Amino acid sequence: MKGLLRHPAAIFGLAMLALLVAAAASAGLAERVLGIDAETLDLAAQLAGPSAAHPLGTDEVGRDLLLRLLRGGQVSLAVGLMTALVAAVIGTAVGLAAGYLGGLADALLMRFTDGVIALPLLPLLIILGAVDPAKLGLPPDLFHSELAGLARIVVIIALVGWTTVARLVRAATLAVKVQDFVRAAEALGARPLRVMTVHILPNVASPVIVAATLSVGNIILLESALSFLGLGVQPPMPSWGNMLSTALDQMYTAPALAIWPGLLIFLTVLSFNLVGDGLQERLDPRAGRD
């Protein structure tokens, strides 16, 4: 952590992320202060400018733009963090198994990983997002709730977002498994699963942390793209992506509807990337240390 604090860009990223998270967490407080919620319609105040009642103005149906941005931040940040966690777990499991077991298992897992990497990402996500769960034999009622809709987005993006972590963990595992402490554990009769989880995993955690941090920004961009295309978070639940989508018709008459969510997406992605770069520099054993 001390080394990270000597990285000015990472400090800026951490401060910006803390500010964004605090703002999103204050959505309920802001609703109580303003006396309305993010879904309150006021057709008499459509596309109104900033005022005491609506600090950033209103959208095309009179909803408060500030409250929508705060609620949308909760959704976008939650999707980004949860997807990064799920993708990191999948990638770590694949990379550990491939690196430690080697042989045929390594070849099959890595060729499968290469196949996923070779797929065109955005078209694949669009296809997965457009799939009707009911046609797959799944109960349609499961996907009507807002929570289920978010979980679907997390699963869709995580299914293609684990490959970078898998390759990094495999490379680190290949280096760690030949160390004496791993060979000693094997000589004492430790099972492969115990060796991978107890002895190898803690020593390959650094690339997982860095890759997961760097991936959050990309995941938020992907969620925004899917929501922009109408395949991600569905209205009336706000996310920065679907707020951008609904702002298209008012791009010239009310540009603030697109500028604010676009700016927040930009700042969030930039901040996560700056923090990830700082972590990479701090945790990279080849980097110079004071």
- The Cβ of residue 181 has, within 10 Å, a number of other Cβ atoms equal to 11
| Contact status, residue 91 vs residue 166, Cβ threshold 8 Å | yes
Q: What is the pLDDT of residues 262-290, one digit of tens each?
A: 899 899 988 888 888 887 777 665 444 44
Structure tokens at 209: 């942390």
Hey, where are the domains in the chain? 2-23+69-283
Q: What share of the chain is helix, strand, coil (3-state, %, to 5)?
A: 75, 0, 25
Class of residue 229 by CB neighbours under 10 A (exposed 0-12, middle 13-18, buried 19+): middle
Degrees to nearest 5, angle at CA 161 with 157 and 162: 135
Structure tokens at 232: 């991600």
Record the tokens describing residue 46, joined without a space: 């459509």
CB atoms within 10 A of CB 44: 8
Please give the model's pTM, rounded to 2 decimal places.
0.83
* pLDDT of res. 190: 84
Question: In the CATH scheme, what architecture does the domain 2-23+69-283 have?
Answer: Orthogonal Bundle (1.10)
Q: What is the DSSP letter of 15?
A: H
What phi, psi does 64 have (nearest 5°)? -70, 125
Q: Token pair 């970078």 is at which residue? A: 164
Q: What is the pLDDT of residues 157-171, one digit of tens each?
A: 888 889 989 999 999
Contact 115, 167 (CB under 8 A): no
What is the rounded distance in angstroms from the CA atom of residue 132 to the CA atom of residue 134? 5
Distance CA 245, CA 237 (A): 13
Q: What is the mean pLDDT of residues 242-264?
A: 85
**pLDDT tens profile 192-204:** 888 888 888 888 8
Q: At 125, is the pLDDT very low, low, confident or very high (cuts 50, 70, 90)?
A: confident
CA distances from 21 to 16, 160, 202, 206, 267 (A): 9, 26, 28, 24, 12
Look at 209 and 138; give whichever has higher pLDDT: 209
